[in-house]
């Protein structure tokens, strides 16, 4: 219950942020997009903290994630639970961020 509450709170923070991506979410299940996102995930060393398959120290594979929240975290970085994720908006285009998002969604738990 507490976990759900925390997730809802995080979701609210993302929704309330002015930098929320305006465009429509592309097809994140496109295998080409997921493969390109995997390459970016490694190139930009997302794997440094998340592990090569998302099962590293900050484990993505066990999380139920929202694609817009993932986009925003990659673009603008995140601080939470005492940890810090750097922003990548200056080094990745929106299209690239969506590709990385597609890969992250592919390895995370899908919402039911």
Partner 1 sequence: MGKLILAASLGLTCLLSTATVALAEAPGTEDPNNWPQYNRTSNAWRYSPLDQINKDNVSKLSVAWIAQGGDITMGIQETPLAIDGVIYSITSGNRVAALDAKTGQEVWNYQPKLDPLTKKVLFSPYSRGVAVGDGKVFIGTVDGRGIALDQKTGKEIWQVQLTDFANCHGCNFTSPPVVAGDMLTFGSTAGELATQGKIFGVEAKSGKKVWEFNTIKDDPKSWPGTSGKYGGGGAWMPGTYDAETNTVFYGTGNPGKDFINEDRQGDNLYTDSIVALDPKTGNLKWYRQEIKQDVWDYDSAYEVLLFKKDGKDLIVHMNKSGYVFVLDKNDGSIENIWPVSDLKNFVKDIDKRTGELIGRVELPMNQETLICPSTFGGRSWNAGAYNPNTGLWYNNVLDFCGYLKPVAQKDDPKDYGTGHIGASDFGRLVMAPDGRKPGRLDARDPFTGERKWTHEMDMPGFAGVLTTGGGLVFNGDPTGILRAFDADTGKVLWSFNTGSGMRSGIISYAVAGEQYILVPSGWGSYAAILLPALFPQLEKMPAASTLIAFKLPK
Smallest distance, Å, CB 46 to partner 1?
8
Smallest distance, Å, CB 69 to partner 1?
18
Is 62 or 112 the residue whose CB approaches partner 1 more closely?
A: 62
Contacts of 80 (CB under 8 A, 6+ apart): 10
Contact positions toward partner 1, by CB under 8 A? Answer: 42-45, 47-49, 51-52, 55-59, 77, 79, 81-84, 86-88, 90-91
Smallest distance, Å, CB 27 to partner 1?
26
Contacts of 35 (CB under 8 A, 6+ apart): 103
Encoded tokens for 95: 């299209």
């Amino acid at each position: 219950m507490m976990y759900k509450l925390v997730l809802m709170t995080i979701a609210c923070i993302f929704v309330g942020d002015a930098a929320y991506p305006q465009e429509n979410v592309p097809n994140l299940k496109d295998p080409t997009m997921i493969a390109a996102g995997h390459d970016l995930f490694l190139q930009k060393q997302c794997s440094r903290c998340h592990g090569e398959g998302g099962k590293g120290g900050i484990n993505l594979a066990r999380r139920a994630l929202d694609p817009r929240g993932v986009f925003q975290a990659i673009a603008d970085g995140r601080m939470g639970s005492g940890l810090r994720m750097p922003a990548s908006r200056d080094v990745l285009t929106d299209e690239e961020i969506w590709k990385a998002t597609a890969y992250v969604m592919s390895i995370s738990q899908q919402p039911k």
